[in-house]
Chains A and B, each alone.
Chain A
Amino acid sequence: MTPARTRADARVRLRSGDVWRFLTNVPLVLGASGILAMGVIALFGPQLAPSDPHAQRVVIFYPDGTFASPPTPPDRYNPLGTDPIGRDQLSRLLWGARLTVTIILLGLLGRGLLALLLGVLAGWRSHTWIDEAIRHVTNAVGGVPQLMLALLLVIALQDHGVIGFVLALALVGWADLARFVRSEVIRIADAPHVHAARALGANGAHVVRTHVLRDLTPQLLGLLAIEAGSVLLLLAELGFIGMFISGGVFFTSDSGAPVLPVRDRAPEWGQMLAGARNYAFSHQYVAFVPGLVVVGAVLAFNLFAEGLRAASDPFGSRRVSPRTLGRVVRALALAGVVACLAFAYLAVRSTSLSFSEGLGRAQDTVAQAFPGGKLVAAVVRLSSSSHALAQPERLTYYFVGDGSQLFRVSFLDGDANAIDAKLFANEDDLVVDALHPLDTAGIVDWEVALRLAEDRVGSRFRSQAPSYRVRVLLTHEVGADRPSYRVQYTGNVGAPVVEVRVDALTGGPGVAPTRQP
């Protein structure tokens, strides 16, 4: 046998041995399967859901003629039961997986990047002023219980919706990870191969990139898997006390209005746990179904971390070669980052609608439910009691049919999931006979009209009034040669309505604003 053949055989034996050790690493296989299942559910949850996760029912009528009031226990129609307002729990779990996984991944990415950056910097420059400064910052952030800090951050960032929530989850918990990275970097920096690389003249950045980070990755990935479970636990705990993504059922002002934005139409596992305590004794499935799902997911992350630890333990029976482990771990890290970006794109895309996207969806709905309907008005409403203060409270599109009937399609919070379509005889201040069908080609964005209006009347309503409503109404009135926006401000009860008219084609001033008492 030639030496070359022997080396090739050894490589093959090593690889097959590593594969076998991976496959017989029970925690790793169980954890990886759990995480994979979670990923599949997050990707295809909406397709797998047996019913509409948003459909609320006061009374649930079953096909066999019986009926019940929610919450109902698991049965063959609702395999995991229904929640207190009659929504199917299985469908909500399947739909909610995407937003939950997205939040976990983004929170984890934030924590990981912060910890890696500061930990590597502190470890590589250990016992210098940089190390000392970073140590003070990590001690300060790690000096408040995670839940408390997360609560404060969520409230402080309440106007930023999902991004604010992700930031709150990312800005807590990274301190312990950074401390670990620092100590590992100090250990690796003292290893013979790192000394050799530096003796050969490699610069610091090169050594950190090719040696320190490479050696750090397996342990870091294991720790990140535990951290993913920790992010989910924090998400669940926040949800349990009534604070969930872009919302909170617990935090209300004296007048009963939510202090935090509430958007429970976007199902998420933490949100499903909100109010669970009230049903723990009477309707256990309401509390324990989402609770068990969270436990299962955290367990999967922990098992995966446990398996990785066993695979990298040089004295363990399930160890794999460092080269194979390094490759697998790097592939997993890359897959994690790709998944993070993909889910972020999917989750953001799936719920938030722009004005034109809303119009497209409204027109699709009209084509099915109100054929021949023509668009006559569109309204963007912003309000102090809005569920997401920086976002429209409602996007509404009005269509008129042959018999002057109005068909209204609206999206609460500009949320694609919160579509509401109704037929009206008439509506508030819309006089159908006084409106031309609306051609939206070439019109400027409603935000341009709002900005112009705010420049003219001042933004005092949106920034200072404790209670306000702003309507941006797009119509083409009879007698006018072009469509126009009317921006209407309403302050407290009894305060005057201020209206500013803006040309919808140029974005310039329209007819002079009229003031009403």
Chain B
Amino acid sequence: MRPQTTLVALRALSAFVLTSLLVVWLCDLTLSGAQLGGLGIGVLLRGVDPFRGQTLLEATAVSVARSGALLATALAVATAVGIAAGAAYAFSSRRIVRAAAWSVGTVGVSLPSFFWAMLLQLLIVFVYARTETRILPTAGFGLDDHLVLPAVALAARPAAYVFRTTATALENVRHGDYVRTAHAKGLPASHVARSHVLPNAAPAILSGVVLGGRIALSSLAIIEYVFSWNGAGFAFIHALANGRTAFAALVALVFALLFAVLTFGTDALSNRLEARR
């Protein structure tokens, strides 16, 4: 492992450790009330969730796996849509198209996730009321058509962020001197885009995707709550609401680990991309 990568890994590890301490401390604070019992690391590892009849670790594993499926789908959608729209924006020369695309992106960023979720549900209900055709289920868990609405709702805001970051990055690189020189040399546009524009815009696009990922993680609890998707975010809210704070703490720790891994992966990849430039 190169020294740079080691340093990044150490930083991610320390972030995870500190975040874990913060989460456990906060959960301990919330437990200080008479209603909510006690919390300790032993409870976290060996305790039993009384509401599910599963150990905390089993319950956490199941809920995190469900959330993982939703998150991965949403991120894939957001990345594909955001990068495609950003590239179309950057390489388009029509002002109206560009203004419209940017406006849609700004509105997309401004809409709360729960608003997207309710709009999509309402759309399905509206279509059903008009045509008596059930296009998609509006709630519940399932790795089938149940996944579509939550994934789209969860992807909406990250897609807007990825779009804006991609568009800005490509725009900046496209107007660089070396790109103009390449065009002046008579190189084909596709070659310039492939060899000069995309590699140089990649780190910024990557950070946009990571930002999108963080936003998706942040919105996960709300989306799962609205669609009754029985994942980690939903479990976190219900665990807190019912005083099962040990379970909530464990779920928060898993999220902290995900964030740390995401940060490490991004920093390592960014370093590699920067080194290639």
Chain A positions 297 through 322: 1 when the CB is less than 8 Å from some CB of chain B, otherwise 0: 01100110010000000010000000
**Chain A residues within 8 Å of chain B by Cβ, number:** 51
Residue of B nearest to A153 (CB): B26
Q: Is the CB of A299 within 8 A of B110?
A: yes
| Interchain CB contact under 8 A, B113 and A237 | yes
Query: Is the pair B14, A136 in contact by a Cβ cutoff of 8 Å?
Result: yes
Cβ distance A338 to chain B, nearest Cβ, rounded Å: 26
Question: Is A259 close to B, CB under 8 A?
Answer: yes
User: Is the Cβ of B106 less than 8 Å from the Cβ of A295?
Assistant: no
CB contact under 8 A between A141 and B22, given known A148-B252, A287-B118:
yes
Given contacts A237-B114, A241-B237, contact A146 B218 (CB under 8 A): yes
Q: Which residues of B contact A281 (CB under 8 A)?
A: 121-122, 125
User: How distant is the Cα of A515 from the Cα of B167 in the complex, in angstroms?
Assistant: 76
B241 at the interface (CB under 8 A from A): yes
Residues of A within 8 A of B219 (CB): 147, 237
Tell me the minimal C-beta distance from A3 to chain B in angstroms: 37
Give the shortest distance, in Å, between B205 (CB) and chain A (any CB).
18
Whether A139 lies near B226 (C-beta < 8 A) is: no
Indicate the member of B29, B218, B240, B263 with the most A CB atoms within 10 Å. B218
Distance, CA A195 to CA B260, complexed state (A): 37
Chain A min CB distance to B255 (Å): 6
B69 at the interface (CB under 8 A from A): no
Report the separation of the CA atoms of residues A295 and B114 in the bound assembly, to the nearest whole angstrom: 11
- B3 contacts the other chain (CB 8 A): no
Whole-angstrom distance from the CB of A156 to the nearest CB of chain B? 4
Residue from the list B18, B34, B220, B226 in contact with A143, Cβ < 8 A: B18
Q: Does A142 contact B (CB under 8 A)?
A: yes
Asked whether any CB of chain A lies closer than 8 Å to the CB of B243, the reply is yes
Taking a contact as CB atoms under 8 Å apart, the answer to whether B122 and A143 are in contact is no
Taking CB as reference atom, which chain B residue is nearest A143? Answer: B19
Are A137 and B18 touching (Cβ within 8 A)?
A: yes
**Residues on B with beta carbons closer than 8 Å to the beta carbon of A367:** none
A145 touches B22 (CB 8 A): no
Q: A152–B35 contact, CB under 8 A?
A: no
- Give every chain B residue within 8 A of A148 (Cβ-Cβ): 218, 221, 236, 252, 255
A139 and B255 in contact, given A156-B26, A303-B106 (Cβ under 8 angstroms) = no
- B113: A residues at CB distance < 8 A: 237
The verdict on A370 contacting chain B, using a C-beta distance below 8 Å, is no
User: Is A142 within 8 A of B259, CB to CB?
Assistant: yes
Cβ of A143: which chain B residues have Cβ within 8 Å of it?
15-16, 18-19, 256, 259-260, 263
Interface centre among B240, B243, B256 (most CB of A within 10 A): B240
Q: What are the 5 closest A-B residue pairs judged by CB atoms, nearest first? A: A140-B18, A139-B15, A143-B19, A156-B29, A299-B110
Q: Which residues of A approach B to under 8 Å, CB–CB?
A: 27, 135-137, 139-149, 151-153, 155-156, 229, 233, 236-237, 240-241, 250-254, 259, 273, 276-277, 280-281, 284, 287-288, 291, 294-295, 298-299, 302-303, 306, 315, 464, 466
What are some 16 contacts across the A-B interface (CB < 8 A)?
A135-B11, A136-B14, A140-B15, A140-B18, A140-B19, A142-B259, A144-B252, A147-B221, A152-B248, A155-B30, A251-B240, A254-B243, A277-B114, A280-B121, A281-B122, A298-B112
